Amino acid sequence: MTNRRDELVALARLGVPLAGANLAELGMALTDMAIVGRLGAVEFAAVGLAGGVVFDIEAILMGMLTVVGVLIAEAYGRGERERVAAIAGQGLRIALLLAIPLTAICLLLTGVLSWTGQDAAVLSLGRDYLHGVVWSFPFAMAYAVLVDVATALHRPRMVFEVSLGAVIINSLLS
């Protein structure tokens, strides 16, 4: 019985901070939309449309990076500290490389979205939003790797604290 209990406690120690971090990331999106919503319907539509598409593309590319966490957990479990560092470094390099096509897609996205019959004002503001947000992609991709590294090293609370801090800073800067 204690074995199951120990497993549940261990799972909660990993899962609860990560769930909190995911909620904090959702909080960032909600904060952004609340701020933009005050600007007007066209602005809200532009950020919602462009941000939604970017989020989907970014999520796919970040999903490709989750293997870094698996490889690090294996190396960490075997006590191969040097391998952990090497895998993390390689993961960061791959993340930065993946930011390049993400940036290119977003810079071309307005043209593609124009095929959907969106209002010209929405597309124009969406383009401006995309041209501003592309600078965050290398950092977002690197963050995804670092989340996997921290989780594999049993440091999920750090992920939660960084995510919560980001929500606070985002709220103040918005």
- For the segment 73-120, what is each residue's pLDDT rounded down to a tens digit? 999 999 999 999 999 999 999 999 999 988 888 888 878 888 888 888
Greatest mean pLDDT among 2-6, 32-36, 88-92: 88-92
Q: Which of 16, 143, 150 has its CA nearest to residue 72?
A: 150
Averaged pLDDT for residues 35-46? 88
How many structural domains are present in the chain? 1
Residue whose tokens read 């609370």: 157
| Residue ranges making up the domain that contains 93 | 2-173
Look at residue 40 and tell me whether its pLDDT is greater than 60: yes
The C-alpha atoms of residue 114 and residue 1 are separated, in whole angstroms, by 60
DSSP-assigned letter for residue 38 = T
> For 119-154, how does the pLDDT look when each residue is reduced to its tens digit (9 = 90+)?
889 888 888 888 888 888 899 889 889 989 988 888
Cα dihedral 40, 27, 94, 57 sign: negative
Residue whose tokens read 């993946």: 98
Residue 1 pLDDT grade (very low, low, confident, very high; cuts 50, 70, 90): low
